[in-house]
Amino acid sequence: MSGIYDTIVVGAGIEGSSTAYYLAKQGQKTLLLEQFPLPHSRGSSHGQSRITRKAYGPKEHYAVMMHEAFHLWEQLERESKTEIFINTGMLSVGEPGNDFIDGTIKAMRKHNIPMDVFGSDEAKMKYPMISYPTDFTYVLDHSGGILRADKALKAFQDQFQKFGGDLHDGEAMVKIIPGKVITVNTSKSTYKCNNLVLTVGPWAKTILPSLGVHIPLRPLRITVCYWKEKIPGQYAANRFPVFVQHPAVDNFGVYGLPSEEYPGHVKICLHFGPDIDPDNRDTVDDKWVMDKLKSYVSKHFPNLVPEPSILETCIYSWLPDEEFVLDKHPAWKNMIIGAGFSGHGFKLSPVVGKVLGEMAMGKEPSYNLSPCRIDRFFSRSKI
């Protein structure tokens, strides 16, 4: 394309793809740049499944956004004629006084989200395939379930192109020259745009400092483990929901999904992992993660083989408060940053795309984004 783009979005993970989709749908001339040939499995958005839920622990601002996220996922399913969501319900488990459980119950009551709260007697009847201490509380969020991640990502990218967007994969952004009109040099060409959205996932760790923005973002390697059922079908999606325990092991959460994507295998992961360089992802030792998970599975999932059968790898962009960054660059207001999705950004991506798109179009974002402001890290910023 010749001329100036309204917006260039750098990074075609789920957040950049949803932003580009939103912008193209609004009639904006948009270019979506991705450094790797698509599809790829080197960032944070690949794989077949992610958890979605309305229950959001004490972080009520995300529970508010989830309401619209569910509608936007349905809209994407209709437009793309793709099944993205599987409703299994989501079970939160925790000991008495657990913040995640208490915050979830409070927020769900406040927003009239259907749920069941029960104790261990009922849990034993409903879910005999799990085992937790008798004083634990269980919250079943009926709205929760699985998002088919790969299909969702492709649906956003396909719809973006149907709405007239340009998608260039295998083309890395190598330099940004800020200004009223921004120049973007890539590995193949040079483009100009009025607005730039940076959704570069774990690569934000190096790209943001090169633009004068210093946030304490840590790319973490997450080992995705699939555990084989001893009795086939016992943890199938029609009998067992997605689940979260936070914290579960030391201070870390554990979450899981029923056997669905790989029949006979339940996905259970630790919500943390070792620090990595995203370009050198597989060189770290994560034995401590595997040891914690094996012991968790053998204790609480007695009907799974306590040794994972399948391992995959993915990356979190972790911020210490686990809040996203959804904001303008502190100095260049036509540069928008979406970063630090801290292992929970997939389900919210349709809303993230909408608010980043609104900012790129010079509109007020539809939500109060104060928890996601970049200046909460300003004491560490060199701006």
Ligand X SMILES: Cc1cc2nc3c(=O)[nH]c(=O)nc-3n(C[C@H](O)[C@H](O)[C@H](O)COP(=O)(O)OP(=O)(O)OC[C@H]3O[C@@H](n4cnc5c(N)ncnc54)[C@H](O)[C@@H]3O)c2cc1C
Closest CA to 360 of 331, 338, 383: 338
Mark out the alpha helices in 37-119 (DSSP H runs).
60-80, 99-110
Q: Of 12, 84, 356, 374, which one interacts with ligand X (CB under 6 A)?
A: 12
Distance CA 148, CA 151 (A): 6
User: Which one-letter amino acid corresponds to residue 381?
Assistant: S
DSSP reduced 3-state for 279: helix
Contact status: 51 vs ligand X (CB under 6 A): yes
* 159 close to 82: Cβ distance less than 8 angstroms: no
Contact status: 217 vs ligand X (CB under 6 A): no
Options 95-103, 188-196, 245-253, 310-318: segment touching ligand X (CB under 6 A): 310-318
- Residue 48 vs 120, nearer CB to ligand X: 48
Q: Of 89, 165, 345, 353, which one interacts with ligand X (CB under 6 A)?
A: 345
Using left for φ > 0, alpha for ψ between -120 and 50, and beta otherwise, residue 89 falls in left
DSSP reduced 3-state for 155: helix
User: Which one-letter amino acid corresponds to residue 162?
Assistant: K
Contact status: 273 vs ligand X (CB under 6 A): no
Closest CA to 308 of 272, 265, 366: 265
Options 124-132, 156-164, 198-206, 298-306: segment touching ligand X (CB under 6 A): 198-206
Q: Of 5, 7, 8, 11, which one interacts with ligand X (CB under 6 A)?
A: 11
Q: Of 347, 355, 358, 369, which one interacts with ligand X (CB under 6 A)?
A: 347
| Smallest distance from ligand X to CB 161, Å | 16
Locate 334 and state its tokens.
């036509």
Q: Is the peptide bond before 39 cis (omega within 30 degrees of 0)?
A: yes
Q: Of 76, 249, 276, 315, which one interacts with ligand X (CB under 6 A)?
A: 315
Task: Restricting to residues 80-99, name those near ligand X by CB under 6 A.
Answer: none
Distance CA 27, CA 4 (A): 14
Contact status: 201 vs ligand X (CB under 6 A): yes
Q: Of 28, 29, 32, 50, which one interacts with ligand X (CB under 6 A)?
A: 50
Contact status: 172 vs ligand X (CB under 6 A): yes
Q: Of 21, 22, 34, 182, which one interacts with ligand X (CB under 6 A)?
A: 34
Q: Which CA distances in Å does 7 have to 28, 146, 184, 191, 319?
A: 7, 31, 11, 10, 27
Contact status: 276 vs ligand X (CB under 6 A): no
Distance CA 340, CA 350 (A): 16
User: Which one-letter amino acid corresponds to residue 55?
Assistant: A
- Residue 77 vs 230, nearer CB to ligand X: 77
User: Which one-letter amino acid corresponds to residue 205?
Assistant: K
Contact status: 16 vs ligand X (CB under 6 A): yes
Contact status: 343 vs ligand X (CB under 6 A): yes
For the sheet containing 85-87, what is the strand order? 49-52, 145-148, 85-87
Locate 138 and state its tokens.
């269980």
- Residue 45 vs 159, nearer CB to ligand X: 45
| Smallest distance from ligand X to CB 199, Å | 5
Contact status: 351 vs ligand X (CB under 6 A): no
Contact status: 73 vs ligand X (CB under 6 A): no
Binding region for ligand X (CB under 6 A): 10-16, 33-36, 43-45, 50-51, 172-173, 199-203, 222, 224, 269, 314-316, 341, 343-347
